[in-house]
């Protein structure tokens, strides 16, 4: 099957409560057949958060393909287009293979010793002269658990800086924040098997069809089977999810809280609630009911600009569901009231008692493959294993695990979030920034400002990457790393499934794993525990994992029952895994018990409007018995309203075929060919009003900058334009300099602003103007037709992959 043309593959229908059938997907590079593969090495997918189990095919020391793992609980053998083709980036000829150092303004090749001594030398100088707060670490959602735990220890337990964050700040900070607000602790309550049982599935700002393609295939198979679930979709674009929905609400961007309040108003007003559950397991219901008084369906429909009957129909589905599964992602998280909106989804489940039973899940989704681990291990600034920075007992306990003085671990204030770190770098108080596994010169908002910050002379920038990314090109030192498949480690997906990913092949040239580099850094810097022994007491990934297990003992994310051996051979296993749950736990909160007692909880929560952390005493008074917390939120209008100068809402996001800044998918021909160049989406009504045609070259401008892109007339809501954010400012690596000509990077346009509670930047907000630079020659925009960018005008050829995009599907077999 051509899996570029058919991203979700063939249907294997199944009914409510049945087991999802197995379908094993395989892709091997041209000229290789399965019998010629030397070994199959166990791993899981890394170009999204789904955690599809797969085996890497190795021949002659090279990765030559992938095959889904039939036994895996996540995918039952299936793979998505990025899983099938994205691994080819590992073999790309332009991988970084030697360290680089800046000499006389240019990056030149050097050896590891020189590179590491330059990094450690600068770090030591700054520590002596300016103290730990002059150093910052910005990591990823794409390394492994073992690497984050080591980095977290180095930053928090060794250097003692509070300036550590992950690109998870741009990604799933709101997932964590929303879970902490409602349950006082991170960790997804639900399970992917909830798809098998749900009678209503609601997707809030989540284009699952394109961003977790295998999970969507599971939903499609339910839709094709007996007693299919109803689907509710909240998204201003006509995504594949919207097209499959029973009810699609396409609200005005930035009105999610208004919409959620309208839905809750209907649900509670009609009495579609579980009063026993509310009484037994929650606090805050009366405040919610009072706060919703002003959110009549008519008012909400007007502000969100959705038909009132559709709003009521959605409320009826949510209110009448017997087994409701909700998912939430960037349409809610990258918006000005991100946490407030995501919390209202939790509230729907709490007032309806829809938690902890098959089919009753909440997935405050992650995006990146290992984002959950960044958060768990404290590489995003939080403390490991969901310890509470504001609780001195938790600090003391962590200090015991690390054998350091509790005062070494920064906990005087909330951890510094990335946007604040960038501000400190701009001010000059932060002078050393270590970047691993992320490409901020493309992915952060307001790129002109980001470039100014990263190119300052006084800032020492270290970049650890596979490729000479836009960010690496700005670095003082570039360290070449081993990729997934070239190193061993574990990672945890959205539904708490832990997978082991084994090393299949050697890294190219002198590239080393992030783990090795972190340990080398700690050693050269001379970081020790309080007895003078090396701070980092492990060498191998497995030793790091064993240390991590000790750190999680008795915590909500208890890994003590797991081991590399246990993760080998079979499926992934969901945490908590310990003596109580030797085979892992499918769902959290099954008995209505939460990790929310004041001395146990990860967080006391924050004010949703100001973001101020709650004091422990306030928390105790609000939630004395450790229940779930229903937190109401008032709707506030977006910060940058549209105007006569900037009449369009600008939203940005993804397409199915690319991952982020395309360092991998741009190097996989099948994926790159499916979406080779940036485009901008606009509705047919707006295009007609302007007299624009498909393929016209447009200029999209905001108060921050300008981007050029060809027009795709799509099913997007009128008044809204959409840009994919995948395309950096260079057409090809090493292409023209930023500022040399029109850019194509969406983040030239986005605003430096964030949600007060989660500190997640606002990538789906802002006001824009659109003008035509040149009429097209009849060639359509280079946007896929299989996705949210499906054209509404005739004459656009269908996206297909041809022979190169063909992969094998094998139906059936036991899971
Ligand atoms: N193909 C692919 N898959 C990926 C990734 C990738 O880059 N490519 N990245 C992974 C990562 S890290 C992440 S975080 C996830 C993200 O996964 P998603 O959140 O599903 O992806 P996005 O396209 O960022 O945004 C989802 C939708 O939000 C809608 N939206 C915009 N503004 C609003 C609004 O105001 N309200 C509402 N309700 N909706 C709005 C957009 O129209 C868009 O369809 O995907 C993961 N999977
Ligand atoms: N406008 C707009 N901007 C956005 C978003 C949006 O929707 N709109 N979404 C935001 C979201 S949700 C996210 S997650 C971010 C993603 O933004 P980034 O994190 O900047 O994107 P990636 O391209 O995934 O960058 C990862 C980098 O790590 C490298 N890498 C891969 N594997 C490894 C490894 O094992 N070790 C090391 N050291 N490096 C590795 C890759 O080559 C790549 O350069 O973008 C955010 N920015
Ligand atoms: Mo993300």
pLDDT in tens, 126-160: 999 999 999 999 999 999 999 999 999 999 999 99
Report CA(151)–ligand 2 centroid distance (Å): 18
- For residue 445, give the ligand nearest its CA: 2
* Atom 7 of ligand 1, nearest CA residue: 659
* Atom 36 of ligand 2, nearest CA residue: 437
- For residue 467, give the ligand nearest its CA: 2
Ligand 2 pocket mutation pick from 43, 171, 434, 443 by most atoms within 8 angstroms of CB:
443
Report CA(330)–ligand 1 centroid distance (Å): 5
Ligand 1 pocket mutation pick from 328, 331, 443 by most atoms within 8 angstroms of CB:
331
Residue among 483, 5, 361, 383 nearest 375 (CA) = 383
Report CA(333)–ligand 3 centroid distance (Å): 10
Report CA(193)–ligand 1 centroid distance (Å): 22
The yes-or-no verdict on residue 731 having pLDDT over 90 is: no
Q: Is 747 in the pocket of ligand 2 (CB under 6 A)?
A: yes
Report CA(146)–ligand 1 centroid distance (Å): 28
Place of tokens 């209202």: 344
* Atom 35 of ligand 1, nearest CA residue: 253
The yes-or-no verdict on residue 736 having pLDDT over 50 is: no
Q: Is 368 in the pocket of ligand 2 (CB under 6 A)?
A: yes
Please spell the DSSP secondary structure of 524-553, one letter per residue.
HHT-B-TTSSBS----SHHHHHHHHHHHHT
Place of tokens 């260079």: 730
Distance CA 617, CA 620 (A): 5
Report CA(591)–ligand 3 centroid distance (Å): 31
- For residue 365, give the ligand nearest its CA: 1
Report CA(489)–ligand 1 centroid distance (Å): 27
Q: Is 466 in the pocket of ligand 2 (CB under 6 A)?
A: yes
The pLDDT assigned to 743 comes to 85
pTM over 0.75: yes
Nearest atom of ligand 2 to the alpha carbon of 723: 1
Distance CA 763, CA 741 (A): 23
The yes-or-no verdict on residue 625 having pLDDT over 80 is: yes
Pocket of ligand 1 (CB under 6 A): 48-49, 82, 171, 205-207, 210-211, 234-237, 239, 251, 253-254, 256, 329-332, 335, 367-368, 651, 653-654, 656, 658-660, 764, 788
The pLDDT assigned to 730 comes to 60
Residue pair 235/207 in contact by the 8 Å Cβ criterion: yes
Residue among 274, 284, 365 nearest 321 (CA) = 274
The pLDDT assigned to 812 comes to 84
The yes-or-no verdict on residue 433 having pLDDT over 50 is: yes
pLDDT band at 348 (very low <50, low <70, confident <90, very high): very high
Distance CA 515, CA 186 (A): 25
DSSP state, residue 512: B
Question: What percent of the chain lies above the pLDDT cut of 90?
Answer: 97
Nearest atom of ligand 2 to the alpha carbon of 436: 38
Report CA(661)–ligand 2 centroid distance (Å): 6
Report CA(658)–ligand 2 centroid distance (Å): 11
Report CA(168)–ligand 3 centroid distance (Å): 6
* Atom 45 of ligand 2, nearest CA residue: 443
* Atom 36 of ligand 1, nearest CA residue: 331
Distance CA 326, CA 232 (A): 9
pLDDT in tens, 571-591: 999 999 999 999 999 999 999
The yes-or-no verdict on residue 614 having pLDDT over 80 is: yes
* Atom 24 of ligand 1, nearest CA residue: 653
The yes-or-no verdict on residue 704 having pLDDT over 80 is: yes
Instruction: Write out the two tokens for 231.
Output: 């689907």
pLDDT in tens, 209-265: 999 999 999 999 999 999 999 999 999 999 999 999 999 999 999 999 999 999 999
Distance CA 666, CA 203 (A): 28
Ligand 1 pocket mutation pick from 327, 367, 370 by most atoms within 8 angstroms of CB:
367
Q: Would you call 369 helix, strand, or coil by DSSP? A: coil
The yes-or-no verdict on residue 335 having pLDDT over 80 is: yes
Residue pair 630/350 in contact by the 8 Å Cβ criterion: yes
The pLDDT assigned to 330 comes to 98
Mean pLDDT over 294-302 rounds to 98
Q: Is 465 in the pocket of ligand 2 (CB under 6 A)?
A: yes
Residue 266 CB contacts under 8 Å (≥ 6 apart), including other chains: 297, 311, 312, 315, 316, 319
Question: Chain-wide mean pLDDT for the chain?
Answer: 96
The yes-or-no verdict on residue 815 having pLDDT over 50 is: no
Residue among 639, 786, 725, 752 nearest 253 (CA) = 639
Mind listing the domains of the chain with CATH numbers? 100-165+381-475+514-574 (3.40.50.740), 173-365+595-629 (3.40.228.10), 648-784 (2.40.40.20)
The yes-or-no verdict on residue 735 having pLDDT over 90 is: no
Residue 39, beta-bridge partner list: 58
Please spell the DSSP secondary structure of 696-748, one letter per residue.
-EEEEE-SS-EEEEEEEEESPPTTEEEEES---S-SSTT-SPTTSS-B--GGG
The yes-or-no verdict on residue 25 having pLDDT over 70 is: yes
Q: Is 276 exposed, middle or buried, given 0-12, 13-18 or 19+ CB atoms closer than 10 A? A: exposed
Residue among 439, 346, 349, 418 nearest 727 (CA) = 439
Question: What percent of the chain lies above the pLDDT cut of 70?
Answer: 98
Q: Is 438 in the pocket of ligand 2 (CB under 6 A)?
A: yes
pLDDT in tens, 644-693: 999 999 999 999 999 999 999 999 999 999 999 999 999 999 999 999 99
pLDDT band at 739 (very low <50, low <70, confident <90, very high): low
Buried b (16+ CB within 10 A) or exposed e, 30-47: eeeeeeebeebbbbbbbb
The yes-or-no verdict on residue 304 having pLDDT over 70 is: yes
Mean pLDDT over 744-763 rounds to 97
Q: Is 370 in the pocket of ligand 2 (CB under 6 A)?
A: no
Q: Is 671 exposed, middle or buried, given 0-12, 13-18 or 19+ CB atoms closer than 10 A? A: buried
Nearest atom of ligand 1 to the alpha carbon of 716: 42
Q: Is 523 exposed, middle or buried, given 0-12, 13-18 or 19+ CB atoms closer than 10 A? A: middle
Instruction: Write out the two tokens for 480.
Output: 């070449």
Q: Is 167 in the pocket of ligand 2 (CB under 6 A)?
A: yes
Residue pair 214/75 in contact by the 8 Å Cβ criterion: yes
* Atom 10 of ligand 1, nearest CA residue: 367
pLDDT in tens, 472-516: 999 999 999 999 999 999 999 999 999 999 999 999 999 999 999
Mean pLDDT over 620-625 rounds to 96
Residue pair 485/90 in contact by the 8 Å Cβ criterion: yes
Report CA(168)–ligand 2 centroid distance (Å): 9
Distance CA 196, CA 86 (A): 28
- For residue 750, give the ligand nearest its CA: 2
pLDDT in tens, 91-106: 999 999 999 999 999 9
Report CA(654)–ligand 3 centroid distance (Å): 10
The yes-or-no verdict on residue 612 having pLDDT over 90 is: yes
The pLDDT assigned to 733 comes to 46
* Atom 33 of ligand 2, nearest CA residue: 437
Residue pair 707/770 in contact by the 8 Å Cβ criterion: no
pLDDT in tens, 63-122: 999 999 999 999 999 999 999 999 999 999 999 999 999 999 999 999 999 999 999 999
Q: Is 690 exposed, middle or buried, given 0-12, 13-18 or 19+ CB atoms closer than 10 A? A: middle
Q: Is 339 in the pocket of ligand 2 (CB under 6 A)?
A: no
Report CA(493)–ligand 2 centroid distance (Å): 17
Mean pLDDT over 547-559 rounds to 98
């Amino acid at each position: 099957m051509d899996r570029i043309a058919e991203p979700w593959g063939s249907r294997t229908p199944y009914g409510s409560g049945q087991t999802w059938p197995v379908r094993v997907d395989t892709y091997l590079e041209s000229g290789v057949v399965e019998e010629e593969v030397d070994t199959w090495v166990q791993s899981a997918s890394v170009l999204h958060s789904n955690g599809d189990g797969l085996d890497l095919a190795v021949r002659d020391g090279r990765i030559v393909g992938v095959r889904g793992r039939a036994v895996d609980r996540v995918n039952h053998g299936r793979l998505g287009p990025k899983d099938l083709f994205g691994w080819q980036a590992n073999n790309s000829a332009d991988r970084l293979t030697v360290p680089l150092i800046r000499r006389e303004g240019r990056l030149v090749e050097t050896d590891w010793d020189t590179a590491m001594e330059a990094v450690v030398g600068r770090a030591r100088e700054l520590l002596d002269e300016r103290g730990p707060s002059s150093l910052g670490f910005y990591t990823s959602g794409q390394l492994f658990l073992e690497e984050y735990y080591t980095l977290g220890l180095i930053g928090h337990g060794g250097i003692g800086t509070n300036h550590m964050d992950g690109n998870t700040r741009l990604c799933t900070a709101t997932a964590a924040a929303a879970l902490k607000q409602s349950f006082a602790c991170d960790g997804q309550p639900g399970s992917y098997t909830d798809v098998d049982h749900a009678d209503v599935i609601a997707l809030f700002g989540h284009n699952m069809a394109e961003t977790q393609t295998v999970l969507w295939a599971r939903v499609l198979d339910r839709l094709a089977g007996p007693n299919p679930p109803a689907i509710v979709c909240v998204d201003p674009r006509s995504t594949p999810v919207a097209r499959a929905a029973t009810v699609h609400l396409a609200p005005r961007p930035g009105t999610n809280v208004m919409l959620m309040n309208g839905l809750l108003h209907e649900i509670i007003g009609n009495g579609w609630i579980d009063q026993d559950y509310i009484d037994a397991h929650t606090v805050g219901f009366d405040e919610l009911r009072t706060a919703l008084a002003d959110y009549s369906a008519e008012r909400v429909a007007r502000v969100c600009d959705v038909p009132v009957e559709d709003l009521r129909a959605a409320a009826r589905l949510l209110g009448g569901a017997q087994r409701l599964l909700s998912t939430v992602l960037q349409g809610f998280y990258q918006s000005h009231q991100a946490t407030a909106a995501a919390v209202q989804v939790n509230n729907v489940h709490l007032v309806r008692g829809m938690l902890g039973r098959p089919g009753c899940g909440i997935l405050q989704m992650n995006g990146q493959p290992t984002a959950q681990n960044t958060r768990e291990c404290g590489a995003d600034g939080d403390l490991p294993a969901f310890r509470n920075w504001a609780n001195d007992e938790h600090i003391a306990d962590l200090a015991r695990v690390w054998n350091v003085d509790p005062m070494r671990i920064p906990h005087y204030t909330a951890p510094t979030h990335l946007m604040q770190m960038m501000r400190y770098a701009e001010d000059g108080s932060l002078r050393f920034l270590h970047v691993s596994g992320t490409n901020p010169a493309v992915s952060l908002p307001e790129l002109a400002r980001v470039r100014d910050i990263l190119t300052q002379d006084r800032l020492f920038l270290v970049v650890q990457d596979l490729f000479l990314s836009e960010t690496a090109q700005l670095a003082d030192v570039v360290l070449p790393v081993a990729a997934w498949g070239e190193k061993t480690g574990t990672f945890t997906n959205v539904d708490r499934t832990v997978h082991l990913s084994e090393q299949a092949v050697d890294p190219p040239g002198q590239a080393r794993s992030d783990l090795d580099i972190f340990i080398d850094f700690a050693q050269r810097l001379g970081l020790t525990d309080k007895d003078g022994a090396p701070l980092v007491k492990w060498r191998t990934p497995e030793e790091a994992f064993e240390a991590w297990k000790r750190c999680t003992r008795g915590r909500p994310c208890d890994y003590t029952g797991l081991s590399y051996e246990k993760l080998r051979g079979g499926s992934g296993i969901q945490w908590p895994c310990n003596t109580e749950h030797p085979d892992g736990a499918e769902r959290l909160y099954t008995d209505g018990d939460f990790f929310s007692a004041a001395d146990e909880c990860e967080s006391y929560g924050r004010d949703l409007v100001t973001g101020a952390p709650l004091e422990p005493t306030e928390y105790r008074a609000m939630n004395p018995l450790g229940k779930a917390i229903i937190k109401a939120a008032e709707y506030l209008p977006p910060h940058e309203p549209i105007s006569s100068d900037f009449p369009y809402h600008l939203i940005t996001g993804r397409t199915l075929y690319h991952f982020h800044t395309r360092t991998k998918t741009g190097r996989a021909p099948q994926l790159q060919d499916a979406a080779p160049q940036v485009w901008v989406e606009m509705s047919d009504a707006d295009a007609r009003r302007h007299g624009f045609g498909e393929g016209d070259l447009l200029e999209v401008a905001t108060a921050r900058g300008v981007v050029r892109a060809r027009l795709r007339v799509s099913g997007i809501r009128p008044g809204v334009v959409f840009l994919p954010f995948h395309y950096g400012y260079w057409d090809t690596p090493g292409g023209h300099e930023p500022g040399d000509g029109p850019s194509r990077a969406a983040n030239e346009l986005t605003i430096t602003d964030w949600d007060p509670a989660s500190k997640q930047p606002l990538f789906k907000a802002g006001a824009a103007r659109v003008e035509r630079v040149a009429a097209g020659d009849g060639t359509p925009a280079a946007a896929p037709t299989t996705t949210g960018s499906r054209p509404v005008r005739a004459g656009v050829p269908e996206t297909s992959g041809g022979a190169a995009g063909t992969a094998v599907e094998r139906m059936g077999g036991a899971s």
